[in-house]
Amino acid sequence: MSAEAANPGATSRRRGRTRLDLRRIGRVALLGPTSRDRLPDAIGHVADAHRAHHPDADLTILHRAYVLAESSHRGQMRKSGEPYITHPLAVTLILAELGAETTTLTAALLHDTVEDTDVTLEQVRSEFGEEVCYLVDGVTKLEKVDYGAAAEPETFRKMLVATGNDVRVMSIKLADRLHNMRTLTVMRPEKQARIARVTRDVLIPLAERLGVQALKTELEDLVFAILHPEEYEHTRALIAADASAGDPLNAIADEVRKVLREAGLAAEVLVRPRHFVSVHRVRLKRGELRGTDFGRLLVLVAEDADCYGVLGELHTCFTPVISEFKDFIAAPKFNLYQSLHTAVASPDGEVAEILIRTHQMHKVAEAGVVALGNPYTPTDGAEPAVEGERADPTRPGWLSRLLEWQESTPDPDTFWTSLRADLAEDREITVFRSDGGTLGLPAGASCVDAAYAQYGETAHRCIGARVNGRLATLSTVLSDGDTVQLLLAHDIGSGPSPEWLDHARTPAARIAITSWLSAHSQDEAPASGGPGGGPQESRPARGSAAPAPGIDTPVPRGAENVIADLPDATVRLAGCCTPVPPDAVTGFAVRGGVVTVHREECPAVGRMQARGREPVGVRWLATGDCRVTLVAESFGRPRLLADLTEAIATAGAAVVSATVEPPSEQRVRHTYTLQLPDAAGLPVLMRAMRAVPGVYDVSRAQHPATA
């Protein structure tokens, strides 16, 4: 059941807009246009709503689209009993009320003609142009797959692709779903529940991300009424009781108007009732509802600067609730939303939430991308788009990211799971790159997510990061406004560690990491070594300290000094035992034509042979510069790290990367990846490190991540 059907006063209470009388419009539609020189009465509602936003719009194309839609759908009936033409009319009216431009409305009128009638895409293209044809085709493709449980992943993959190419396709789809939800009572209860769940899980979050709050809130209420009828009825009763008891927000609104008028600020102050789901959420959060919890005040001004002027007056003349202040003008939300949020207490103790925004901000807040018009209309002096490309300036950053990772996810079920997880994230942070650019990430994202968001698959070579100028592990969780510099290894064979999956929040990162691990032997130790490590070093335990200051991106070496008895094979030194000349070594072939070289006493060798893996002969060509990972066990004391790095430098070795595990019973483990000019100097280096006071052992790295 629809929210409006359950509460006849909800419409006027929320937006005060008129609704289509579907039965009356249906009768008019059956009669067809009465004359050629004026719009049929059946589309008059759409024309009025469209002219309210676009006074100079040419309605001729709408007239022609209606005539084609009405004639092609004539004789078709909806399950509710109305003529089918009432559906495209209702969808078009929804978009017209949001301020959609003429091209979108034309496509909305025709959105079912190609799917359900004899009208062809070529006919649409010849009569209405390429843009309308493109939109109709996009919506038609979304309708070709049913919403059955098995078909949902592929359905929404197509929906996402269509949305990415033109957000107006999704706008039409959302309006289409809204009208279907309004008339859902004719279906069986189980089918109502299934459609409502899909709407809740995917379409409502997509409406939120596209910024179309007007559609999102009504869809939420309709889903709420179907899936939670008891809670819905209780909320409806609370709203009805509040309406009969009088609204304290009106009194506060009068005081706000008086304050702003005396300050010389021209502003429109409105009482904005909350929708059903919003009231329900407030009740769950606060328990007992106050009279002011059933709505908020909306203050509309002309200019951005006036928003802050209003804020200053309100905080001066009322008692502000500082914890409720949010500035989405200086830092807009990921869905284009801009507004100032605050809450003030009146002299009698009533607390009112207040939204302050310009009229344009309000339009975008309600209609989102729909309010931005046709993003493909060329502007004066603009270069024509490259054939086949549709560069949409209104496409949100999150949508671009989803389009990238869906292309790398061939499995529909994996795509579906990742999509739902991403849509469940309701907050986004912005971090700054070292080159001045920005990255939009979900709250709780780590440096791993930032790496894949910035570099894509190149992030496989990431070994660390600088967050706000300080070195940090890849597991570091980022905060809004952080500056991130990602450090990449030069070794193109480097790869992620399975442990990275513990710190990846975004689908892009998780899918890329999983794909790499699947394409490589799971027995192989990734050269990256873990969230805080570098190539060919031991993987640090969770909670390891950041790499030592001053360490830069490593340049892997050593593999050029060894050759394998396998033609055209790429040789890589194992990160678990870091062999150096003149160690006795053996190799094992892994995927991708790579031979991984281990010391013969490495535990990995025995495990590989036990699995029936045939060793590959390898030999050193000559001694020379090499890379090795050493573990220093010591007792904790001040300046220990400084003394160890000084001893390493004195021995002629260069520190590539280092990790220090948290002290345990006054003992500290240091792990260093070092570059030596000559492997023969390794014994001297290890003796020098053991000579540092407090160090009781130095050994070659050995850990279970092997190949």
- DSSP secondary structure letter of residue 333: -
pLDDT in tens, 390-401: 444 444 555 665
Q: With bands split at pLDDT 50, 70 and 90, how would you rate the model's confidence at 385? A: very low
Query: In 10 A of CB 76, how many CB atoms?
Result: 13
pLDDT in tens, 148-177: 444 455 555 666 665 556 778 888 988 998
pLDDT in tens, 211-249: 889 999 999 999 999 999 999 999 898 888 887 766 788
Give the active site residue among 48, 116, 201, 678. 116
568 pLDDT higher than 80: no
The full 3-state SS of 273-297, as one line of letters, equals ECCHHHHHHHHHHHCCCCHHHHEEE
Strand partners, 634: 668, 695
Is pLDDT larger for residue 275 or for residue 662? 275
- DSSP secondary structure letter of residue 326: E
138, 161 Cβ separation under 8 angstroms:
no
pLDDT score, position 631: 86
Stretch (H or E) spanning 116: helix 113-116
pLDDT score, position 163: 58
Measured over the CA atoms of residue 227, residue 233, residue 238 and residue 242, the dihedral's sign is positive
Residue 663, helix vs strand vs coil: coil
Classify 550 in phi/psi space as left (phi over 0), alpha (psi -120 to 50) or beta.
Answer: left
How many whole angstroms separate alpha carbon 485 and alpha carbon 12?
52
Closest among 497, 486, 411 to 455, alpha carbons compared: 486
∠ CA 404-361-12, rounded to 5°: 110
pLDDT score, position 239: 86
pLDDT score, position 493: 64
In single-letter form, the type of residue at position 243 comes to A
Is pLDDT larger for residue 215 or for residue 640? 215
Give the active site residue among 21, 41, 82, 115. 115
How many whole angstroms separate alpha carbon 438 and alpha carbon 533?
25
Q: With bands split at pLDDT 50, 70 and 90, how would you rate the model's confidence at 314? A: very high
- DSSP secondary structure letter of residue 580: -
- DSSP secondary structure letter of residue 569: P
In single-letter form, the type of residue at position 250 comes to N
108 pLDDT higher than 90: yes
Residue 408, helix vs strand vs coil: coil
667 pLDDT higher than 50: yes
279, 221 Cβ separation under 8 angstroms:
no
Taking residues 411-415, report their average pLDDT: 62
The full 3-state SS of 600-631, as one line of letters, equals CCCHHHHHHHHCCCCEECEEECCCCCEEEEEE
Taking residues 287-306, report their average pLDDT: 89
In single-letter form, the type of residue at position 406 comes to Q
Is pLDDT larger for residue 455 or for residue 18? 455
How many whole angstroms separate alpha carbon 350 and alpha carbon 347?
7
Taking residues 636-650, report their average pLDDT: 84
How many whole angstroms separate alpha carbon 648 and alpha carbon 632?
12
Closest among 528, 590, 584 to 556, alpha carbons compared: 528
pLDDT score, position 545: 36
623 pLDDT higher than 90: no
Ramachandran angles phi, psi of 685, nearest 5° = -60, -45
Taking residues 498-523, report their average pLDDT: 78
341 pLDDT higher than 90: yes
Is pLDDT larger for residue 59 or for residue 371? 59
pLDDT in tens, 473-489: 888 899 888 999 988 87
Is pLDDT larger for residue 545 or for residue 505? 505
CA 255 to chain centre: 41
How many whole angstroms separate alpha carbon 321 and alpha carbon 196?
37
Q: The pTM is what?
A: 0.60
Q: With bands split at pLDDT 50, 70 and 90, how would you rate the model's confidence at 259? A: very high
Cβ-based neighbours of 382, under 8 Å, separated by 6 or more? none
How many whole angstroms separate alpha carbon 163 and alpha carbon 63?
27
Is pLDDT larger for residue 275 or for residue 657? 275
Cβ-based neighbours of 260, under 8 Å, separated by 6 or more? 267, 269, 299, 310, 313
Maximum CA extent, the chain = 101
Ramachandran angles phi, psi of 175, nearest 5° = -65, -40
How many whole angstroms separate alpha carbon 492 and alpha carbon 458?
9
How many whole angstroms separate alpha carbon 643 and alpha carbon 137?
69
The full 3-state SS of 173-235, as one line of letters, equals HHHHHHHHHHCHHHCCHHHHHHHHHHHHHHHHHHHHHCCCHHHHHHHHHHHHHHHCHHHHHHH
Average pLDDT value for the chain: 76
pLDDT score, position 337: 84
Count Cβ neighbours within 10 Å for each residue of 368-390 and write b for 16 or more, e otherwise: bbbbbbeebeeeeeeeeeeeeee
Return the structure tokens found at 325: 């202040």
∠ CA 479-485-488, rounded to 5°: 130
Taking residues 662-688, report their average pLDDT: 81
pLDDT score, position 526: 42
In single-letter form, the type of residue at position 58 comes to D
How many whole angstroms separate alpha carbon 178 and alpha carbon 170?
12
Q: What percent of the chain has pLDDT over 90?
A: 19
Is pLDDT larger for residue 621 or for residue 41? 621
How many whole angstroms separate alpha carbon 341 and alpha carbon 328?
8
How many whole angstroms separate alpha carbon 280 and alpha carbon 225?
12
Is pLDDT larger for residue 256 or for residue 346? 256
How many whole angstroms separate alpha carbon 42 and alpha carbon 24?
9
Return the structure tokens found at 377: 């209309």
Strand partners, 669: 633
Indicate the angle between helix axes 189-198 and 167-182, nearest 10 degrees: 150
How many whole angstroms separate alpha carbon 673 and alpha carbon 494?
15
pLDDT score, position 429: 79
- DSSP secondary structure letter of residue 577: T
Any catalytic annotation for residue 115? yes
Rg (CA), the chain: 32
Is pLDDT larger for residue 471 or for residue 121? 121
How many whole angstroms separate alpha carbon 71 and alpha carbon 205?
36
Closest among 435, 561, 547, 572 to 492, alpha carbons compared: 572
585 pLDDT higher than 50: yes
How far CA 299 is from CA of 257, 307, 340, 357, in Å, comes to: 9, 8, 10, 6
Closest among 323, 233, 252 to 292, alpha carbons compared: 252
Any catalytic annotation for residue 568? no
pLDDT score, position 185: 85
Q: With bands split at pLDDT 50, 70 and 90, how would you rate the model's confidence at 359? A: very high
pLDDT score, position 309: 94
Greatest mean pLDDT among 314-318, 367-371, 418-422, 453-457 lies in: 314-318
How far CA 139 is from CA of 104, 132, 142, 154, 207, in Å, comes to: 11, 11, 5, 15, 16
pLDDT score, position 30: 38
353 pLDDT higher than 90: yes
